[in-house]
Amino acid sequence: MELPPGWAALIEDYAAHLDAERGLSAHTVRAYSTDLRELAIFADVEPGRITVSRLRSWLGAMGDDGAAASTVQRRVACVRGFFAWAAREGVVETDPAVRLKAPKRQRRLPKVLAAGAVSETLAAAEGRAAEADDPIALRDLALIELLYSSGLRVSELCSLTLLDIDRDRRSVSVLGKGGKHRTVPLGLPALRAIDAWLGVRGQVSTPLSPETVFLGARGGALDPRVARRVVHAATAAAGPGAEIGPHGLRHAMATHLLEGGADLRSVQEMLGHASVATTQIYTHVTSERLREAFRQAHPRA
């Protein structure tokens, strides 16, 4: 559907701003561009004629269509950022989104894999790697060990290069969201698994293979979807109701660190969270675990 006058070029300029100046991921830029196109079609007026009441009607229509609160929140963030930028650029005289508020998002605590369940998952992956005469089994073990040791996002893991691993310092250098670098320590089991995989990586790589740590079965860069399938298969039976897959290991790593006495700021740095408020959800997880243990074990609970 054709957009009302003034929108197409403006959305394109804003997308370029998000990419070049704010360093947002291509996925986020596409999502924001789609949101703005949907707003333009709904409003059916030029950008400078959008009002806050029209924006609220747009959000209300989403709710009527059953959109999740998280989706509405993202779109509020999108239009607030867009109109603030448009006002600074002089494209609109006033910012109609400055008083726009998002619905409160219900906090859902992640159901985290217990430390014992993770140990069983890793032991099973280690057993498969020892029994199979297949470098991919060693790759999968290294992948799972690294995710649990470092708490990396799966996209960060797939983009790691060989130069990002520092064995002397037992750490990995990560390029995270917004183009921000961070250094995350690694445990010895993860380093041993990575070394075992790198010892057979040459059996998979080709002259055209990238310099990434992990490769696909044909020697190309490892697709994040393949990494997710590997971890889902490994963790599927580990904990009924718990979140599995790469993000499940990320949740588990953060929760187990806090349960072991790590401070919140250190965990925030390792996870690459921009705000400590994002990391604080894991303190609620550990508190809930303590309460559950009390209810089950204390005679006067």
pLDDT band at 117, cuts 50/70/90? Answer: confident
- Are 249 and 195 part of one and the same domain? yes
In terms of Cα–Cα distance, which of 280, 277, 284, 271 is closest to 148?
Answer: 271
Greater model confidence, 140 or 291? 140
- Are 245 and 133 part of one and the same domain? yes
Q: Which domain holds residue 60?
A: 7-88
- Are 260 and 139 part of one and the same domain? yes
- Are 133 and 251 part of one and the same domain? yes
Pick from 152-161, 205-214, 259-268, 281-290: least confident:
281-290
- Are 157 and 260 part of one and the same domain? yes
Catalytic residue among 153, 201, 251, 256: 153
- Are 218 and 119 part of one and the same domain? yes
Q: Is residue 207 part of a domain?
A: yes
At residue 301, the pLDDT reads 46
Q: Mean pLDDT, the chain, as a whole number?
A: 87
Give me the mean pLDDT over the 225-253 stretch.
83
Q: Is residue 250 part of a domain?
A: yes
CA distance 110 to 284: 10
Is 251 an annotated catalytic residue?
no
At residue 63, the pLDDT reads 73
Kindly write down the DSSP assignment for every residue of 213-272, as one continuous string.
Answer: S-B-TTSSBPPHHHHHHHHHHHHTTTSTTS--SHHHHHHHHHHHHHHTT--HHHHHHHHT
Instruction: Give the total number of structural domains in the chain.
Output: 2
> 162-187 pLDDT, tens per residue?
999 999 999 999 988 877 889 999 99
Is 300 an annotated catalytic residue?
no
Burial class (CB in 10 A: 0-12, 13-18, 19+), 138: buried
- Are 129 and 44 part of one and the same domain? no
Catalytic residue among 14, 32, 148, 282: 282
- Are 77 and 122 part of one and the same domain? no
- Are 137 and 280 part of one and the same domain? yes
Highest mean pLDDT among 85-94, 100-109, 193-202: 193-202
> 218-237 pLDDT, tens per residue?
999 999 999 999 999 998 87
Is 56 an annotated catalytic residue?
no
- Are 122 and 248 part of one and the same domain? yes
Q: Is residue 212 part of a domain?
A: yes
Give me the mean pLDDT over the 202-227 stretch.
95
CATH number, domain with residue 18? 1.10.150
Catalytic residue among 17, 170, 182, 273: 273
Is 177 an annotated catalytic residue?
yes
At residue 88, the pLDDT reads 93
Is 250 an annotated catalytic residue?
yes
Catalytic residue among 177, 182, 228, 289: 177
Is 284 an annotated catalytic residue?
no
| H or E element that contains 38 | helix 26-43
Residue 178 Rama label (left phi>0; alpha psi -120 to 50; beta): left
Pick from 84-98, 108-122, 203-217: least confident:
108-122
Q: Is residue 93 part of a domain?
A: no
Q: Is residue 257 predicted with pLDDT exceeding 50?
A: yes
Catalytic residue among 56, 170, 182, 247: 247
Q: Is residue 28 part of a domain?
A: yes
Catalytic residue among 75, 250, 251, 256: 250
Q: Is residue 99 part of a domain?
A: no
- Are 65 and 131 part of one and the same domain? no
- Are 60 and 120 part of one and the same domain? no
Q: Is residue 182 part of a domain?
A: yes
Q: Is residue 105 part of a domain?
A: no
At residue 237, the pLDDT reads 72
Give me the mean pLDDT over the 10-29 stretch.
89
